[in-house]
Amino acid sequence: MPSPSFDQATQEGAAIADLFSRIKDIEESSGDWNGGEVVAVLSQWFSELHVDVDGSADQVRHLQPGMELHPPAGPQVQ
């Protein structure tokens, strides 16, 4: 099994791991994820991160001072 491509020791990585754990907690015995429950968990997670799910995507598209964009994990295509 591959390791996650994010650092769980960072605040961001811990938030991603927390979201995944919450979704796995609602996973049905068949392995399915109930869409309504996933939306509720995801909406709560965004709220805890102070992201307005009813707002524009622009609120997360622009870097704040001191923030850096990190390239996606995996091989880079040239």
Residue 60 inside a domain? The answer is no
Q: Is residue 39 part of a domain?
A: yes
On whether residue 24 sits in a domain, the answer given is: yes
Residue 6: pLDDT over 90 = no
Averaged pLDDT for residues 34-41:
93
Query: What pTM was computed for the model?
Result: 0.67
The set of long-range contacts for 47-52, using a CB threshold of 8 Å and a minimum separation of 24, is 49/15
Give me the pLDDT at residue 75, please.
56
pLDDT-above-70 percentage for the chain: 78
Sequence-ordered alpha helix ranges (H) in the chain: 11-25, 35-48, 58-61
Q: What is the pLDDT of residue 73?
A: 53
Q: Which domain holds residue 29?
A: 11-52
Which residue from 24, 67, 22 is spatially nearest to 47, judged by alpha carbons? 22
Q: Which residue has the higher pLDDT, 68 or 37?
A: 37
Question: How many domains does one find in the chain?
Answer: 1
Residue 36 domain flag: yes
Instruction: Give me the chain's average pLDDT, please.
Output: 83
